[in-house]
Chains A and B, each alone.
Chain A
Amino acid sequence: MKGSAQVSRRNFLKKGTLLGGGLLISFAIPSQVSKLLSNIAPGITEMNAFLRIAEDNTIHVIISKLEMGQGIWTTLPMLIAEELDCDWNKIKVQHRSQGKGSNFNEGVFLQITGGSDTTRSEFDHYRMIGATARMMLINAAAKRFCIPPEACETDNGYIINGKKRLSYGEVATEASKLPISEVKLREPSFLGFSTDRVALHTPYLGGSFGRRGSFNSDWIMDAVQIAKASGKFIKLIWSREDDIRGGYYRPVYFHKVRISIGRDGFPLAWHHRVVGQSLFTNTPLAEHIVPNEIDYSSVDGVNGSPYLEAIADHSVELHTKTYGVPVLPWRAVGNTHTAFVMETLIDELAAIAEKDPVEYRRVFLKNHPRHIEVLNLAAEKAQWSKPMPAGRFRGIAVHASMGSVVCQVVEVSIIDKKIHLHRVVCVIDCGLAVNPEGVKAQMESGIVYGITAALYGEITLSKGRVQQSNFHDYRMLR
């Protein structure tokens, strides 16, 4: 649970010594319900709550809320016990409204329990009281031990320094004479302990390809939970089956494009509709990538296309759907589907216009010198002007993304219904290549990955289960 707004400690904590010794901390709590009522009837005071630690180690929690079977007598003391690090069996709970502590002469008192509000409104208050009491007990014990408080630990109702132990009860009276301690509440975490006890070592990553772009680092959660449950040091390696059925996939997209073609063979109007899943909605990046509910990564590459810029009458629509399949980015994210759709369409348009695909692109992209440059160089290196031998085919594509413009020519043949890949020519304008070998390696890598996706890479679902399981049915280019 997320803690409520920061509570000012000084506003609500008071301490005192009990008649028979021990530590008493009282706290007046402004809950949501009483705040509402105090607006209507100003001047009323809410019932206080108390934490009392007696010299015999009993811990009384006198709660400000009423138990009526909803379990608040358990939940609120749990919040204290968690922070106080005390023996749960020593806790006694009672209502505030009994005995001498009540003063009915000071006007109207409120004791309101309702609105499903208690755990939410009291979460930080009761934790704060437990944490404060623990710190004061530590301070008292540290004085007795003549050591700094940082050298002390607590365990289930005891303050410990090496072999020396003092029970909370033994130092409760001394603690009551100390000033109220400054404490900082721990952030609630799935770890079950505070994050300041966590050291994170970041190893060399190994391949990612998008799967590690996860915002909840599910594999770390896995490892931590297994380590906690087993009580052992662990190294977690997922099986390949767990990886392939591991719950996150590249989003599905569907493009529907209507184009009207002019007499010169070039589009007069272009209506582009993209339907698919959003990668970044409900992520910490949503604010930047999904402004106005449009996930930029869903249309990146159609939106801003130099072809569309050249067509006065064009429109791009995005329909974002949610399906049961969780998604994560895949290499190059949106451009992997938009580049495919755009370049396939340009080829179809060139074919309808009975024009050479390179020549058609040259005219279309005439105002984009970087596109023209990579297009021309790739065509030259691939010897585009020379006809292909019989049975051999080639295709060309040019696309800009992430600041680079890339053109590739692929040569294939089909033998016995199998696609044979003979050659890929790749030209990139990435601006200044800081490490040209690195750029080359990345481009080769992208080509292999893209071909793998084109030939294999299919994930199918049946009755909610991924049917593929390992590299025999989820194949890679070898």
Chain B
Amino acid sequence: MISITINNKNHRIDADLSIPLLWVIRDILGLTGTKFGCGIAQCGACTIHLNGEAVRSCITPVANAEGKQIITIEGLSGMVGMSVQKAWLTEDVAQCGYCQPGQIMSATALLHKIPNPSDTDIDKAMSGNICRCGTYQRIRKAIHLAAKLSMEDIK
């Protein structure tokens, strides 16, 4: 038994401690917004926030998450989270959509650290997320827009 906090809710999980967090999130808790893409931290589809850091849940053993705050795409909230969602819709970023939960989680983590990122900041922070549809141009645009939206909100 292990106790974890996902999206501000406590869960007691009966699972092997070495099982990747991704499968606890998807298969045990049924939160299927977080995607499996590669299983070896090469694509970013499984990105979640662990204490505010963007991490790849496919290689994170569930034991590493004990006592930490886990946020998945379903639990995205707050001003930055809302701005990112709004920007993603405004720019119509998604095509097939499979990688987008991971893209959004990486983008949100970036904006928490750097509220007004440059193109270079974005390229660096987002380089761990693959999009086979090639929505990169709109992702970058949406991140700039989200930065603008959340800063306007502060003012």
Contacts and interface: CB of A to CB of B under 8 A. Distances in A.
Contact of B133 (A207, A237, A239, A478): A207
B96 A447 contact: no
Contacts of A471: 37-38, 40, 42-43, 130
B145 to A, nearest CB: 15
Given A240-B37, A240-B38, A472-B40, A204 B97 contact: yes
Contacts, number: 64
Interface stretch (B12-20, B107-115, B135-143): B135-143
Chain B interface, DSSP helix/strand/loop, else mixed:
loop
**Which of B37, B97, B134 has most chain A Cβ within 10 Å?**
B134
B92 interface: yes
Interface in A442-478: 444-449, 470-472, 476-478
A393 interface: no
B39 interface: yes
A419 interface: no
**Which of A437, A449, A471, A476 has most chain B Cβ within 10 Å?**
A471
Nearest to A448: B134
B132 interface: yes
B77 interface: no
A445 B134 contact: yes
Contacts of A448: 131, 133-134, 136
Contacts of A445: 95, 133-135
Contacts of A237: 36
A129 B95 CA distance: 53
Contacts of B97: 204, 206
B135 A441 contact: yes
B51 interface: no
B130 to A, nearest CB: 5
Given A208-B96, A441-B135, A476-B132, 16 more contacts: A204-B97, A205-B96, A206-B96, A207-B132, A239-B39, A441-B95, A445-B95, A445-B133, A445-B135, A448-B131, A470-B39, A471-B37, A471-B38, A472-B40, A476-B43, A477-B134
Interface of A: 204-209, 237, 239-240, 437, 441, 444-449, 470-472, 476-478
